[in-house]
Amino acid sequence: MKIGVIAVQGDVREHLRALERLGVKAVAVRKPADLEGVAGLVFPGGESTAIWRLLKWSGLVEPIEQLHRSGIPFFGTCAGMILLAREIVNWPERFFGFIDIAVERNASGRQVDSFETELEVKGVGRVPAVFIRAPYIRRVGPGVEVLAECQGHPVMAREGKVLVASFHPELTEDLRVYELFLTMCG
């Protein structure tokens, strides 16, 4: 199985390593040709506005939209979740809008407010979670399943073939969240 990781900005290397540890062929996606043959696509954490501008500059927006229409699964972490959300409550732009959630950027606080905890993830169990200036989900649409909460806020959700998490599973040794995504990639 070949999984792409958007590699224009953010914590790309960590996602690639996690996927490779599961025996997956993980490829860094910097241009449209890199999407050829992927069974799934990961949108890493980083800075959502910078990632969006670089995606547009590199010509990746339309090919990614085509992959979404074709049913390829997507997994967005932190900034990746913001990119995939239908609405951003504290930002004037909207990006892809592939999952019916509203998110608030940097809802967990500033960089100095970053923290680690354990979450109960539906269908997975307790997993370690690293939150860095994390967005929180403020609204979920009727077709969205909340998979985990933190401090009373949804922080992981799935709708169809789109999985999102406010936290950074790539910064832990636990690979079960990736295994959940890979089952979606089938």
- Catalytic residue IDs: 78, 168, 170
Contact 168, 127 (CB under 8 A): no
Burial 78-87 (b: 16+ CB within 10 A, else e): bbbbbbbbbe
Distance of CA 125 to the CA centre of its chain: 19
| 8 Å CB contact between 86 and 137 | no
Task: Report d(CA 110, CA 119) in Å as an integer.
Answer: 21
Q: How far apart are CA 164 and CA 19, in angstroms?
A: 16
